[in-house]
């Protein structure tokens, strides 16, 4: 039955062998590009550290695990348990983002201390993560350890001071 349906098309409607091959090749290329865009390999350790902070703010276990070495996945699940995603609510003025420093601990290691700040008149908030240790691996930079995490609700500035740092 399928043969008859295909034969019902005029020759100009059918894909010729080379056109069919080109279409398959294009489809495969698009699939590979899509797959590659879904798996991130980070080239910048500061971006990895910053993304980890955002994962804690968003309470996103999968994102945090994608940024860390496998040995830290249980710790991620433990620290994310009961966390609610924080949403910075916009007011007339607001700014959000991470800031901090990263320094060379070794040739392929960085030590970062970063703070996320929501400077919103409706939902001021900050989250500080100390000693984010990032190491270069064959899969890009990955977090292999971090220190204390401190949150301050109703405060967007002075997070380090409020957290005792």
CATH number at residue 68: 3.10.450
Using DSSP's 3-state secondary structure scheme, residue 121 falls into: coil
The pTM (predicted TM-score) of the whole model is 0.71
The confidence score (pLDDT) of residue 106 equals 85
Same domain, 58 and 122: yes
Rounded Cα distance, 10 and 38, in Å = 40
Find where tokens 């401190």 sit.
Answer: 150
The two three-digit tokens of residue 9, written as one number: 């098309």
Residue 37: pLDDT band by 50, 70, 90 thresholds? very low
C-alpha distances (whole Å) from 156 to each of 9, 55, 76, 151, 164 are: 66, 18, 24, 10, 15
pLDDT at 47 over 90: yes
Mean pLDDT of the chain: 79
Rounded Cα distance, 97 and 89, in Å = 13
Same domain, 22 and 63: no
Sequence length of the chain is 165
Same domain, 74 and 140: yes
The confidence score (pLDDT) of residue 4 equals 47
Enclosing domain of residue 127: 45-162
Same domain, 54 and 124: yes
Rounded Cα distance, 137 and 158, in Å = 34
pLDDT at 70 over 60: yes
Rounded Cα distance, 31 and 129, in Å = 37
More confidently predicted of 72 and 119: 72
């Amino acid at each position: 039955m399928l043969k008859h349906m295909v034969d019902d098309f005029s020759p100009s409607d059918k894909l010729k062998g080379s056109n069919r091959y080109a279409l398959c090749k294009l489809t495969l290329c698009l699939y590979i590009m899509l797959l590659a865009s879904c798996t991130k390999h980070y080239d910048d350790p500061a971006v990895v550290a910053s993304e980890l902070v955002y994962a804690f703010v968003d309470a996103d276990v999968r994102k945090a695990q994608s940024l860390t070495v496998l040995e830290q996945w249980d710790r991620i699940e433990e620290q994310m348990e009961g966390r609610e995603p924080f949403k910075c609510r916009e007011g007339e003025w607001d700014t959000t983002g991470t800031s901090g420093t990263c320094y060379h601990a070794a040739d392929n290691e960085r030590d970062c201390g970063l703070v996320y700040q929501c400077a919103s008149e409706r939902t001021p908030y900050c989250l500080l993560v100390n000693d984010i240790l990032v190491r270069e691996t064959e899969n890009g930079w990955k977090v292999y350890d971090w220190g204390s995490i401190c949150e301050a609700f109703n405060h967007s500035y002075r997070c380090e001071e409020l957290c005792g740092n």
